[in-house]
Amino acid sequence: MKTTITLLSLALLGLLTSCKEKKEKSALTEQTVETVQPVQPTPAPAKPVAETQPAKKKNYHLVAGCFVEQENAERLNKALVSEGYDSQIFSFYRMHMVTYNSYETRAEAQKALNLIVQESGKELTWVYPVK
């Protein structure tokens, strides 16, 4: 019994440390949104062109599970999307992490985590921070 608990503890510790090391590789890229004004045939008062703003990074992810097999991760991702979640798959080392949703701040992620762990079968959800 002690051996089983020790092995599970070491496995969990390995997963948590591996996620921290991988955060540099799976960092999200900034995306910009550009607006284009149509060409008007008649002179009109000049309208200021909206500046491009980078999309806000969502650095906190609610993790539904980690899988070695890509197919298992895709299956869970598909199920979560059909439930209405904005699920994504992040690869790190030799595993594939499936998320429920992503959030900009730790407070938002924690609030969502507190709600989701109350659902049956989702008690082991955790927050993965990417910085």
User: Element (H or E) spanning 85, and its range?
Assistant: none
Residue 51 lies in a domain: no
Separation of alpha carbons 10 and 67, rounded Å: 17
Residue 71 lies in a domain: yes
Q: What is the pLDDT of residue 40?
A: 53
Q: What is the pLDDT of residue 36?
A: 52
Residue 116 lies in a domain: yes
Q: What is the pLDDT of residue 10?
A: 59
Residue 17 lies in a domain: no
Residue 73, CB-side half-sphere exposure with 13 Å CA sphere? 19
Residue 70 lies in a domain: yes
Residue that is written with structure tokens 């949703």 in the block: 101
Residue 87 lies in a domain: yes
Q: What is the pLDDT of residue 13?
A: 55
Residue 83 lies in a domain: yes
Q: What is the pLDDT of residue 115?
A: 93
What CATH number is given to the structural domain containing 90?
A: 3.30.70.1070
Separation of alpha carbons 97 and 88, rounded Å: 8
Domain that holds residue 91: 58-131
Q: What is the pLDDT of residue 29?
A: 44
- Using DSSP's 3-state secondary structure scheme, residue 2 falls into helix
Residue 9 lies in a domain: no
Q: What is the pLDDT of residue 1?
A: 74
Q: How many beta carbons lie within 10 A of that of residue 100, not counting itself? A: 21
Digitized pLDDT (tens) for each residue of the chain, 131 residues in all:
767 676 666 565 565 555 544 544 444 444 455 555 555 555 555 555 555 556 677 889 999 999 999 999 999 999 999 999 999 999 878 899 999 999 999 999 999 999 999 999 999 999 988 87
Q: Are 128 and 63 in contact (CB under 8 A)?
A: yes
What is the value of pTM for the model shown? Answer: 0.56
Number of domains in the chain: 1
DSSP string computed for 111-125:
HHHHHHTTSTT-TT-
